[in-house]
Chains A and B, each alone.
Chain A
């Protein structure tokens, strides 16, 4: 892997605050505001699970990645539209989703305007009366600074640890 350079302390804090703000916005169901103000138009938003393979097996030709999410801006827009439709009964009564973001590392990206951000996430999702679900995953993000000076999400690769989905589905903001 290419050596990455850590950013200055002020930028580290700025990025951390942006990530915290993002999770709060999503928790407060401000989906459209999130998409319009924090997400780049060329966004790639992916989540994968990994199939279990033997370490020494290098002969099998099948894919190892099991994609769970593979969205562009238009796809995210449809997901937001689903929530805005007023007809989404699965989140009525509302779900509660709380993110915990830790092990944050921030590096300079390929251009001066881009940052590569690694984090570990634990997300607890509650719905209906009895369903409490916990998801553990890593995120590799790329955030880009626009002409207005604001950071926006350009790419997110979510790497989910659990091989199967015990918590029903991955249909929540990861």
Chain B
């Protein structure tokens, strides 16, 4: 039995190192977090047409996501209900149905079992085909981004995102929508799934140091941070944490990020031209953040950078390994020339050969693997930066840390993490809706 209270100290911003290593904690995470949080599946732009499908993971479960004949989307566990073989071996495509490779049981786009070879001859009347469809998973979308959930008692996706939508809308809605480009790159990292999630959710501190060489070489608005020569000035950014643990750090007016020269100028021009449109479509308050650089995670394992334009899912593969899915993300209405430049910049920074991606992965792996030592794993980790400086954000309803660098969203992530691990069910989590801020604000 895992003593959840001993794992996270929210008020003092500390976490037990065991959460990055122990098998029993990982099993609890699969059940209580991956078993009932909304997990990213795919985007409208990947499966636009009837019969389009993509295969992905929810936690360790392989999932097939399919565009239906009525335009809706359904998702199924990717195994045959007969003897459990994988149904679809491709990663994406377009199909009229899905046939298992083992005995040829055939399923429709809607997952129903349509035909069984020699059914009459070999089964007679035994088989109840209407109960043997592929096992369906609940799905919902927000602005074209599809997520799945194993728990039918979970709140709707829009409510799960909650007040955090205020920050999502800035780029998901502000200029007419966002889209993912191409199939995902896939890579294995030997680290715990929470390590990159916490890094993306709110670690502006490491940027100038971990990425010193990359920033120095690349220029662009983030380049000035290289080697910790400069701290972002007072009022240069904020960090946010929200009800269900989603968080974001924003560095104002750093949108072109690591694009310099002509490409940087093209990006800067786009942001400047569109800021008034965002103000009109959303609000002045949201437009203030548009054109900034966002580092963010949607709880539990979906991270993105806006400005460096990467969109990632950290699929867990045991407590010590993840499979990373990486896409480029762009605003739909960007001119093609800018989309291409953004994609090249993403590949250079956070793609599978990315200069900054390689910096991060080295840290992430050692942060996990050193825990094999029994004396190392008993330690605690510190995320106390900016402790006591947070307050409620009147504009968005979230908690805000009023500096570019701080660990507010770390603390919010692990607060939510503890809440999920402790709660018996979603009703128990809902009961905390009115008081989730108390511990973080120490009141």
**Residues on A close to B: CB < 8 A?**
47, 49, 51-54, 57, 59-71, 74-75, 78-79, 81-90, 163-166, 168-171, 174
Contacts and interface: CB of A to CB of B under 8 A. Distances in A.
A78 B213 contact: no
A31 to B, nearest CB: 12
B163 to A, nearest CB: 34
Contacts of A84: 217
B92 A60 contact: yes
Can you list the 6 inter-chain pairs with the closest CB atoms, starting with the nearest?
A170-B353, A165-B187, A81-B217, A164-B186, A51-B183, A59-B94
B93 A57 contact: yes
A62 B353 contact: no
Contacts of B187: 164-166, 168-169
Given A69-B347, A169-B352, A62 B182 contact: yes
Nearest to A160: B352
Nearest to B347: A70
Contact of A67 (B92, B347, B358): B347
B48 A47 contact: no
Contacts of B355: 78-79, 82, 171
Interface size class of B (residues with CB under 8 A): 35 or more
B216 A81 contact: yes
A74 B361 CA distance: 25
Interface in B196-245: 212-214, 216-218, 226-227
Interface of B: 46, 48-49, 51-52, 89-95, 181-189, 212-214, 216-218, 226-227, 261, 323, 343-344, 347-348, 351-355, 357-359, 361-362, 365
22 contacts: A49-B352, A51-B91, A52-B89, A52-B90, A53-B90, A59-B94, A63-B182, A67-B343, A69-B353, A74-B261, A78-B218, A87-B212, A87-B213, A88-B213, A90-B362, A163-B186, A165-B186, A165-B352, A166-B187, A168-B188, A168-B358, A169-B352
A170 B358 CA distance: 9
A165 B227 CA distance: 29
Given A71-B348, A169-B354, 6 more contacts: A60-B52, A66-B182, A87-B216, A90-B359, A169-B353, A169-B358
A62 B347 CA distance: 19
B182 to A, nearest CB: 5
Contact of B323 (A62, A67, A90, A164): A164
Contacts of A90: 358-359, 362
B51 A59 contact: yes
A27 to B, nearest CB: 18
Given A61-B48, A90-B359, A165-B187, A78 B348 contact: yes
A85 B214 CA distance: 9
B183 A165 contact: no
B353 A171 contact: yes
A168 B359 CA distance: 11
B51 A67 contact: no
A11 to B, nearest CB: 31
